[in-house]
Amino acid sequence: MSSATTVTPSGDAPAAPGSADVAGPAPVTGADGRIPLRSHLRHTGALVRRNLLWIRQDPESMFDAVLFPIVFTLLFVYVFGGSIGQALGGGQEAYVQYIVPGLMAMMGMNMAMGVGTGFNQDFNTGVMDRFRSLPIGRGSVLFAKIAVEILRMLIATTILLVVGVLVGFDITDWPGLFAAVGLSVVFGSALMWIFITLGVAMKNAQSVQAMGFLVLMPLQFGSSIFAPTQSMPGWLQSFTEYNPLSSLADAARGLMVGGPVAHDLWMTLAWSVGITAVMAPIAIHKFRTKS
Answer whether residue 121 is part of any domain: yes
At residue 231's C-alpha, the angle toward residues 244 and 185, to 5°, is 20
**In terms of pTM, does the model score above 0.85?**
no
Residue 14 within any structural domain of the chain = no
Cα(165)–Cα(239) distance, integer angstroms? 31
Residue 62 near residue 156 (C-beta atoms within 8 A):
no
Determine the Cα–Cα distance for residues 14 and 95; give it in Å rounded to an integer. Answer: 50
Look at residue 130 and tell me if it is in a domain. Answer: yes
Whether residue 244 is contained in a domain is answered as yes
- Residues 165-195 as b/e (b if ≥16 CB within 10 A, e otherwise) read eebebeeeeeebbebbbebbbbbbbbbbbbb
CA distance 2 to 10: 24
Q: Quick one: pLDDT at residue 269?
A: 96
Say if CB 240 and CB 219 are below 8 A apart.
no
Render each residue's pLDDT in the chain as its tens digit; 291 residues: 444 433 333 334 444 444 444 444 444 454 445 666 677 788 888 888 888 888 888 888 788 889 999 999 999 999 888 888 887 878 888 899 999 999 988 887 888 887 888 888 878 777 777 777 776 776 788 888 889 999 999 999 999 999 999 999 998 889 999 999 999 999 999 999 999 898 888 888 888 888 888 888 888 888 999 988 888 888 888 899 899 999 999 999 999 998 889 999 999 999 999 999 999 999 888 888 876
pLDDT at residue number 45: 85
Among left, alpha and beta (phi > 0; psi -120 to 50; other), residue 6 is beta
Residues 68 and 117 sit within 8 Å (Cβ to Cβ): no
Counting the structural domains of the chain, the total is 1
Residue 62 located in a structural domain: yes
Q: 9 in a domain, yes or no?
A: no
> Read out DSSP for 79-128?
IIHHHHHHHHTSHHHHHHHHHHHHHHHHHHHHHHHHHHHHHHHHHHTTHH
- 280 half-sphere exposure, CB direction, 13 A CA radius: 12
Decide if 4 is inside a domain: no
Instruction: Using alpha carbons only, give the angle 8, 13, 15 rounded to the nearest 5 degrees.
Output: 115
Q: Domain of 254?
A: 33-289
d(CA 116, CA 192): 8
Nearest 5°: the CA angle 131, 133, 136 is 60
> What is the C-alpha separation between 184 and 108, in angstroms, rounded?
6
Question: Could you tell me if residue 28 is inside a domain?
Answer: no
Confidence (pLDDT) at 33: 53
